[in-house]
Amino acid sequence: MTNIKSIKAEGGLTEEAHPSFFKATLAIIQKDLSAEFRSFELISAMLVFSLLVIIIFNFALELDVKVRQSVTSGVLWTTFAFAGTLGLNRSMSVEKDRGCMDGLLLAPVDRSVIYFGKAISNLIFMLVVEAVVLPVYSLLYNVNLFRLDLIGVILLGSIGYAAVGTLLSTMSAQTRTREVLLPILLFPVVMPVLLASVKASNGLLTGAEFSEVLTPLNLLIVYDVIFIAIAFMVFDHVVEE
């Protein structure tokens, strides 16, 4: 028989555990980042896919300078959307495959903590990929994308995408056909975010009047708020048996 020491907490550990919402959310984000920056499984897949897509578009379209400006937002958001799906699938399958989702659900915290933790992690992964894709795209297409206003639109679009994507990937992760199901569920729902992002980005890149950009920008902000609020309200039911 092995000598097992006591598991009683010596310092009278926790009479009642009281993890705060913020600290628990931060714990999930840090856990996801630590695991990912050690394995690079998720980011490397998203990056390779994104770079391949913009290279294929570059060769396929053979564009002149004027046309390049007009297709840039479409190519960029198509790339971000498809690469994002890869990341969302992987991020949730890590939790599901080894039962870690149950581990998260067993924590004495509001379950929306899990949603916000995973959504912010997914957003960070998307932003890392976008930070690499933008300079490569600028180089290949000879278009200046380093503008604060454009980066703001990309950030807003990514927030909306990660907000909806995290909720739907949690749902699809519970099915056997999750890789196929996620894009089928996600793209119709996230369409308003993508359309508003494309329109706002296009307006900024083609030098349109600010009033023309304002409408899609407002829509984008409203969609972000609505999607986050809906996800916050329904997440508990999504993860429940």
Partner 1 sequence: MIEVKKLVKRFGLKTILRGLDFSVQPGEFVALLGPNGAGKTTFLRILATLSRPSIGLVQVAGYKLPDQAAQVRAKLGVVSHMPLLYPDLTAEENLRFYGRMYGIGNMEERITEVLGMVGLENRRKDLVRTFSRGMQQRLAIGRAVIHDPQVMLFDEPYTGLDQDASEMLDDVLRTVAAEGRTVVMTSHDLARAEDLATRFDILSRGVIAASTTQKQLKDTNLLSFYKQALADS
Give the footprint of partner 1 on this chain (CB under 8 A): 1-2, 4-11, 13-14, 16-20, 23-24, 26-28, 30-31, 34-36, 38-39, 94, 98-100, 102-110, 240-241
Neighbours of 4 (CB within 10 A): 6
- Token couple for 30: 């840090």
Question: In the complex with partner 1, which residue's Cβ is closer, 23 or 147?
Answer: 23
Rounded least distance, CB 194 to partner 1, Å: 31
Question: In the complex with partner 1, which residue's Cβ is closer, 62 or 240?
Answer: 240
C-alpha span between 88 and 46 (Å, rounded): 10
Question: In the complex with partner 1, which residue's Cβ is closer, 104 or 181?
Answer: 104
Burial environment of residue 67 by CB neighbours within 10 A (0 to 12, 13 to 18, 19 or more)? exposed
Question: In the complex with partner 1, which residue's Cβ is closer, 101 or 133?
Answer: 101
Rounded least distance, CB 94 to partner 1, Å: 8
Rounded least distance, CB 58 to partner 1, Å: 34
Rounded least distance, CB 98 to partner 1, Å: 6
Question: In the complex with partner 1, which residue's Cβ is closer, 35 or 214?
Answer: 35
- Token couple for 205: 């890149």
C-alpha span between 152 and 149 (Å, rounded): 5
Nearest to 162 by CA among 230, 93, 104, 116: 116
Rounded least distance, CB 122 to partner 1, Å: 16
Asked whether the beta carbons of 112 and 104 are under 8 A apart, the reply is: no
